Amino acid sequence: MSLLVLLVMVIALAGWLTARLRRYALVRSLVDVPNARSSHQIPTPRGGGVAIVVSFLLVLPLMEWLGVMAGAMVIALWGAGAWVAIVGFVDDHRHIAARWRLLAHFLGACWLLYWLPELPPLMLLGHVLELGWLGYALAALFLVWLLNLYNFMDGIDGIASVEALTVCMGGAAIYFLLDQPVLALAPTLLAAAVGGFLFWNFPPAKIFMGDAGSGFLGLMLGGLALHAAWVDPVLLWSWLIMLGVFVVDATWTLLHRLLRRERVFEAHRSHAYQFAARKYASHRAVTLTVLAINVLWLMPWALVAALQWVDGVIALACAYIPLFWLALRFKAGYAETERSV
């Protein structure tokens, strides 16, 4: 089977499953009704991200068969991804308390890390660091944070899908430019699964991703970043650079709300992208802006880091500076009554 045929099949499967899930959500009244903390205006079915989960997990075992990933890595991603998606699916149907969700997320992260023979070393300013058990603790926090920030950032039509699609294609492009095209298969297949869902999720969205999809994507992107670090430790910085829009907005907003002693797991509309969507009265404009930032700004910096033309930490700092400026510009983390753009 050619790669092109496989990609078309994954896209088609994800699109078809999304259509079926939309029908299921409407029948079961799984609908997000707009409220004071919502960024959408009309009731919209949710839970379509399950299509991404099923489509990608079905083809993930091919990674071992084709020699793209070690079997342990496939087990790690499959088990952790399925677990987090199930927890999200239950939460989409009946609310799970934040503390139990967080515990479940750490269990998923621990499963993923358990199957790794050891953590890849960390390349920091030209020095290779073996972090030992501290590295596992930091890696667990990294995976859980990425999982949750993806949930936080899935607040307007298409943004989480576009982020995953561009990050995966950016990672695949870097593998091709480093003359390792086989390694591009995993992120390309995840991008294909997201692409089939995006047909229904692009503004104006006909269905939302839901916690099952957003949590799964956050964890899979974190897992693929760790896999990239096994190929070359410097590639971890490339993946972090490509994830910059979500990392900066979510982290800046969280820290600001913590300083204000707000309940950080309570729904809100104080992310920079949410303020921007309201200011310009367009989800599509903000989502396309994220697409442009990823392709025109973050991907080049990720490539510069991958080619080691600039140290990864320095490249990340340069790439993130304008993103922090945008967070400041749109006063991310402020209450709506305390800010004006």
119-137 pLDDT tens trace? 888 888 877 888 888 899 9
- Across the range 159-163, mean pLDDT stands at 97
State how far the Cα of 194 lies from the Cα of 125, in Å rounded to an integer.
34
- Tell which phi-psi region holds residue 308, choosing left (phi > 0), alpha (psi between -120 and 50) or beta: left
State how far the Cα of 298 lies from the Cα of 101, in Å rounded to an integer.
31
| Residues in the annotated binding site | 151, 211
State how far the Cα of 118 lies from the Cα of 130, in Å rounded to an integer.
10
> pLDDT at position 40, please?
65
- Across the range 44-56, mean pLDDT stands at 96
| Residues in the annotated binding site for Mg(2+) | 151, 211
Q: Let me know if 223 is exposed, middle or buried by CB neighbors in 10 A (0-12, 13-18, 19+).
A: buried
> pLDDT at position 112, please?
96
The encoded tokens of residue 254 equal: 């969280």
> pLDDT at position 39, please?
67
> pLDDT at position 3, please?
81
Residue 341, pLDDT above cutoff 60:
no
CB atoms within 10 A of CB 333: 23
> pLDDT at position 316, please?
98
> pLDDT at position 67, please?
84
**More confidently predicted of 2 and 142:** 142
> pLDDT at position 118, please?
82
Q: Are 43 and 207 in contact (CB under 8 A)?
A: no
> pLDDT at position 336, please?
66
Residue 155, pLDDT above cutoff 60:
yes
- Across the range 304-324, mean pLDDT stands at 96
> pLDDT at position 69, please?
86
- Tell which phi-psi region holds residue 29, choosing left (phi > 0), alpha (psi between -120 and 50) or beta: left
Residue 199, pLDDT above cutoff 60:
yes
> pLDDT at position 340, please?
45
